[in-house]
């Protein structure tokens, strides 16, 4: 999903912005100094990169990468939820926060399952 949404954000940033509940402005309607499109390109590229990182980690069974992501996805859940509470982001942004929390939970459970199966973890 990260790779897919990153690619969509690079090609059609309006799709990602509208799915998160942000107002879509025409290019000419943006004020000087409005860097929304630059931020969308940067965050979409980061999302695309993370998606590729996850795919490489899964293909190589690099479990330490997944252990690392559990804590940081939980942190992302807290930060994104806080943005909503502080009225910085629209309530629809909660979907992003919950996605990260669900991803952390699923990854953590999968790692726990692997460890209980006696699988040797990669260094």
Q: pLDDT grade, residue 123 (50/70/90)?
A: low
Residue 121 in this model has a pLDDT that exceeds 70: no
Residue 65: the pLDDT is: 94
56-85 pLDDT per residue, tens: 999 998 989 999 999 999 999 999 999 999
For residue range 86-116, list pLDDT tens digits in order.
Answer: 999 888 889 889 999 999 999 999 999 988 8
pTM as predicted: 0.75
Residue given tokens 């965050």 in the structure block: 43
CA distances from 50 to 1, 37, 114, 122 (A): 10, 20, 23, 20
Sign of the alpha-carbon torsion through 113, 103, 98, 74: positive
């Amino acid at each position: 999903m990260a790779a897919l949404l990153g690619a969509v954000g690079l090609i059609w940033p309006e799709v990602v912005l509208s799915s998160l509940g942000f107002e879509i402005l025409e290019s000419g309607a943006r004020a000087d100094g409005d860097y929304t499109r630059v931020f969308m390109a940067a965050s979409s590229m980061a999302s695309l990169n993370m998606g590729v990182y996850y795919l490489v980690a899964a293909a190589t069974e690099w479990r330490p990468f997944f252990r690392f992501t559990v804590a940081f996805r939980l942190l992302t859940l807290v930060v994104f939820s806080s943005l909503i509470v502080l009225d910085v982001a629209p309530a629809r942004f909660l979907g992003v926060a919950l996605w990260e929390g669900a991803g952390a939970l699923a990854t953590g459970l999968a790692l726990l399952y692997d460890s209980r199966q006696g699988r040797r973890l990669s260094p």
